[in-house]
Homo-oligomer: A and B are copies of this chain.
Amino acid sequence: MREAIKEATSGIKAKDGGPFGAVIVRDDKIIAKAHNTVLFSRDPTAHAEINAIRAASKKLGKDMSGCVIYSTTEPCPMCFSAIHWAKIDKVVFGTKIEDVAKLGFNEMPIKDFTLKFLGNLKIEIEGDFLSMECLELLSKYKKIKGETY
């Protein structure tokens, strides 16, 4: 998660980067890391998790069994579904979507989405991990850029 926070920090420093970072790990080795580049690439799918999965697929192919993805923010439904398709075993996230939304960031209005996924998919989920540090990334972004993402 420290690496994911570093990634998000580099996203904040980048001209058009976002304050969201993700890292994919297998056997204690970092396979890929990425931050959100939606504004930079003008690609609405370029969330941190999707970017990390795309980068990891160049090394591992489409089957990422045995991998854990660390994300500074709870994955949105798009990213959660991509994690499912990539067969990633476990998600560890920092800030909850509802706390991100409270800061004024644009989040999807899906209630209990993660819980529904938990009931249907076989992905282990651990939340609220270093959540205060992850939340600070967003406040920092808002302060520096004068806007939400």
Which A residues are closer than 8 A to B by beta carbons?
Answer: 38-39, 41-45, 50, 53-54, 57-58, 61-62, 64, 76-78, 80-82, 84-87, 108-111, 116-117, 120-121
CB of A89, distance to nearest CB on chain B (Å)? 14
Answer whether A81 and B77 are a contact pair too, CB < 8 Å, given A45-B50, A57-B42.
yes
Chain B residues whose CB sits within 8 angstroms of the CB of A110 once the complex forms:
116-117, 120
Tell me which of A62, A64, A78 has the highest count of chain B C-beta atoms within 10 A of its own C-beta.
A78
Chain B residues whose CB sits within 8 angstroms of the CB of A117 once the complex forms:
110
Chain B residues whose CB sits within 8 angstroms of the CB of A62 once the complex forms:
38-39, 42-44
Give A39's nearest chain B residue, CB to CB: B62
Name 29 interchain pairs, CB-CB below 8 A, sorted by A. Answer: A38-B62, A39-B62, A42-B57, A42-B58, A42-B62, A43-B53, A43-B54, A44-B57, A44-B82, A44-B86, A45-B45, A45-B50, A45-B53, A45-B54, A45-B82, A76-B81, A76-B85, A77-B77, A77-B80, A78-B81, A78-B82, A78-B85, A81-B81, A84-B108, A108-B121, A109-B121, A110-B120, A111-B120, A116-B116
Bound together, the chains give a CA A87 to CA B76 distance in angstroms of 15
Instruction: Assess the A81–B57 pair: CB atoms within 8 A.
Output: no
Closest A-B pairs by Cβ, 10 of them? A78-B81, A44-B85, A77-B81, A44-B62, A42-B61, A44-B86, A43-B57, A109-B120, A45-B82, A42-B62
